[in-house]
Amino acid sequence: MEGYTSKPVVYIGSQELAKISALLPSNKKRSMIVHSLVSSLGLMNNPKASENARRLQVVSPRKASYKDLAVYHTRDYLNAVLDASNLTTDGEDQETDILVNAEFGLEDDCPRFAGLAEYVQLVGGATLTATKALQQNLADIAICWDGGRHHARKSHASGFCYVADCILAILALKRPPVQSANPTPPNTLSTVRKPRIMYLDLDLHFSDAVSEAFYSPVSFSTPQVLTLSIHHTAPGFFPASERAALSNPSSPNFDPFTLSLPLKQGASDKTYECIWPIVENIRKTFEPDFVVLQCGVDALAGDPCATFNWSLGDSPGSMGWCVQKVVNEWPGKKLLLGGGGYNSPNAARAWAYLTSIAMNKPLDLETEIPDHVGFPLYGPSFTLNVSAGNMNDHNSEEDLGTLHTRFDNIIEVLQKRLAV
């Protein structure tokens, strides 16, 4: 198509996905709000694009099969979440239900809900559909805003996450692509590097389940996966994980492929701009073939978590600026996933804007929200931007200096491990 580079951005969406994903108790209706804003802004219509813009190809997700999900999740967990008949409703059996639910984390912030089985299959399948589009070379960028469930574990729901779609995607990307009809001669096969995947997590919360799934402090081979989580951590702040603290090469438990960069309260564009060269250095050192970018938006100003003060914007250090660098400047293929974000209209603003960045035709942040079913949610500004608030940024120059020194050491270790 004229005016476009040849490959589209694959965008996973369907009425069914929006409807089922909108049932998530922590983010009721969010999926519908997000997809309807993206649609109402015309991003799915592909109006005449500027040079180098990419068109958006909306792809319906296929449901993940039991086998797809069992690549990571345990059978017992899948039986508990996929089979509604496991849930009795009255009498003595209620006690058994409570015990089963507790065993699999299906309580407190992860209650069972009507539609849970479909949710797990469809959201897991949505991220895997996006992953497949990259592997089959249909796209260099694929987006699944309903994915990014980075707290879900092998046999345990946690932190509003019931399906470990990030981990399933990484495991799929680790596998070499299907052989073509003309396979590479055996003598050259040995020189082909296995795909490397960098998982970068921008969510306010530490990517505990993903980081721990690939954590391997005693391995001396070159892992295919590097995880880097930028987040807030503090005593009592979710999730409690040893790995959430600043990575430390002096620790006996240090794994240079499982990296953690915690920031203090009020982190703003200025702080993200200051730490971004660290992210760039890790990427340049690891040279990933695929980048899985978890774009949780609960670090943005205006989120009920009220912990960071990040702006959506396009100025240096903003979320849009960081994502622009990953999708448009980094080599390799990118999978963009959603995540946390509890101010639904702001999540919709952010993911719509990031979609336009992935299409390489960023919307103007002053764009007025179009008249559509979700319109009343966007007051009082009724524009696309999510501006920073007045929160103090507690990340001092000294703190940021410490992060840089620490990561200089980490990158040295990483270089040595990769040179083996």
Query: In the complex, which residues of this chain contact Zn ion (CB under 5 A)?
Result: 203-205, 296, 298, 340
Q: Smaller CB distance to Zn ion: residue 17 or 297?
A: 297
Which residues fall within 8 angstroms of residue 336, CB to CB, at 6 or more apart? 141, 142, 143, 144, 145, 293, 295, 323, 327, 354, 358
Q: For the CB of residue 206, give the shortest distance to Zn ion in the complex, in Å.
A: 9
Phi and psi at 2, nearest 5°, equal: -65, 145
C-alpha pair distances (Å), 100 with each of 113, 149, 154: 15, 22, 15
Q: Smaller CB distance to Zn ion: residue 46 or 227?
A: 227
Q: Smaller CB distance to Zn ion: residue 300 or 384?
A: 300
Structural element, H or E, at residue 294: strand 290-294
Q: For the CB of residue 139, give the shortest distance to Zn ion in the complex, in Å.
A: 26
Q: Catalytic pick from 73, 151, 205, 231?
A: 151
Cα-Cα-Cα-Cα torsion 400, 405, 407, 412, nearest 10 degrees, comes to 170
The C-alpha R_g of the chain, in whole angstroms, comes to 21
Are 29 and 22 contacting, i.e. CB atoms less than 8 angstroms apart? yes
> CB nearest Zn ion: which residue?
340
Dihedral sign for Cα atoms in the order 219, 220, 222, 226? positive
Q: Smaller CB distance to Zn ion: residue 149 or 205?
A: 205
328 token code pair: 């448009």
Are 334 and 141 contacting, i.e. CB atoms less than 8 angstroms apart? yes
Q: Smaller CB distance to Zn ion: residue 27 or 46?
A: 27
Q: For the CB of residue 391, give the shortest distance to Zn ion in the complex, in Å.
A: 17
Q: Give SS3 for 80.
A: helix
Tell me, yes or no, if 151 is annotated catalytic.
Answer: yes
Q: For the CB of residue 166, give the shortest distance to Zn ion in the complex, in Å.
A: 13
Q: For the CB of residue 378, give the shortest distance to Zn ion in the complex, in Å.
A: 22
Catalytic residues: 151
